[in-house]
Chain A
Amino acid sequence: MNTRGLRSQLKDSVPVTGMGQQVGAYGVQDTLRSGFSSVKNELLPSHALELSEKNFQLNQDKMNFSNLRNIQGLHAPLKLQMEYRAARQIQRLPFLQSSHLALDTLKGNDESISFEDILNDPSQSEMVGEPHIMMEYKLGLM
């Protein structure tokens, strides 16, 4: 749902600051979990589209919600975001494949096909997440 008035909503979009590295305990970079780091790798994205694609869905949602707020008032985005939050909780644990059916229906993704559905299917990814680490990350214990 692409709406007009992009420039007025630009201040709400996610800032392009670069890829943050994972900071472990004591504020130092976590070598054990995220590998060796190099400043050059972290500063610039490897492809012009990398940052804009990473935040594309977030930016679209922000733009649509702020437009909705301007047109219909504050209650409209608040209600929708409450429904999204409820639907987002209907899923399996992070290391299992969940269908996100309720969330997709609310967002309208069940009626469209894009590159997210065709390329890089998560159910066929080569790397399997370690269950304990993924749960710790999700619960914020890491």
Chain B
Amino acid sequence: MATLSVCQPQLGGFSFENCKRNAVLEAEVTKLGCNIPSARKTGTTICGVVFKDGIVLGADTRATEGMIVADKNCSKIHYISPNIYCCGAGTAADTEMTTQIISSNLELHSLSTSRLPRVATANRMLKQMLFRYQGHIGAALVLGGVDCNGPHLYSIYPHGSTDKLPYVTMGSGSLAAMAVFEDRYKQDMEEEDAKRLVRDAIAAGIFNDLGSGSNIDLCVITKGRVDYLRPHDMANKKGVRLIRPVYAYKQGTTGVLTKSVIKLDLEVVEETVQTMDTS
């Protein structure tokens, strides 16, 4: 509600001025039978697994807006720091901004302590911020990285609770991916086995959940090395359009019975040259 005169200096951050107006507008629009546009979500499958030397994170690449696919190849594995990456599910803008803010804060923190940041620090920062906003920021994250204490994997829910586990899945396809993990996870896997397991889990999410689709992205983090494989596997490739027309029949499809050639005698009557204006 606008006041007639501004008495105090404005503060930054979230402003709730228009909430009442929005609520009234939404009620009006629903009475008329239309829908207000919905936020773009990443109905998703994301997962992570700890293997012998590090972490493998995996994600699909579909972003949905209600019932429509908004982005066929969006990137859901976000950079937090050179040794920490984070997959995000939920509202796309929320995961993007949250991971960027935490990445900036971690960079400032690591400059001030002059040490490589730890995964537990990123986890603590994320959970405190998400709890402060009581779940209104719809970001469900899988955070993984390798620091001085070894590989760590956390799952962070929108209301601010976290779990530290050897394998986690989040998103609308999390049940399908978790089924694959529960069946085939073993402690201290090799890197190739871990990559294959994550790829199969994301594929299970892609093929069994409407909100997930397109390609599979992987991110392998070990001590001193990060492999960002985008795309690792194109599970749903769009069909290629044929260049030559299929509607033309091959020569010889129809049998030839008779053939007669009539030559037309044409003589040149008049020849004129018209210059083109090529200026």
Does residue B32 face the partner (Cβ distance < 8 Å to A)?
no
**Which residues of chain B are near A46, meaning CB under 8 Å?**
16, 19-20, 23
C-alpha spacing A96/B230, complex, angstroms = 48
Decide yes or no whether A133 CB sits under 8 A from chain B: yes
Interface string of B1-36 (1 = CB under 8 A from A): 111111111111111100110010000000000000
A18 is an interface residue with CB less than 8 A from chain B:
no
**Residues of chain B at interface, number, CB under 8 A:** 32
Please classify the interface of chain A as helix (H, G, I), strand (E, B), loop, or mixed, using the class held by over half of its residues.
Answer: loop
Q: Which of A32, A53, A56, A95 has the most CB of B within 10 A?
A: A53
Chain B residues with Cβ below 8 Å from A122 are 9-12
Which residues from chain A contact B10 at a C-beta distance below 8 Å? 120, 122, 125, 127
A28, CB-defined interface residue at 8 Å: no
A45's nearest neighbour on chain B, judged by CB, is B16
B161 CB within 8 Å of chain A = no
**How close is A18's CB to chain B, nearest CB, in angstroms?**
14
Of all chain B residues, which has the CB nearest A128? Answer: B6
A25 in contact (CB, < 8 A): no
Interface residues of B (CB under 8 A from A): 1-16, 19-20, 23, 97, 101, 104-105, 108-109, 112, 128-129, 132-134, 136
Selected A-B contacts with CB under 8 Å, 28 pairs: A2-B128, A33-B4, A35-B1, A35-B4, A41-B20, A49-B133, A49-B134, A50-B19, A52-B134, A53-B13, A53-B16, A111-B112, A112-B109, A113-B104, A116-B11, A119-B12, A119-B13, A120-B13, A120-B14, A122-B9, A122-B10, A122-B11, A127-B10, A129-B7, A130-B6, A134-B6, A137-B7, A137-B8
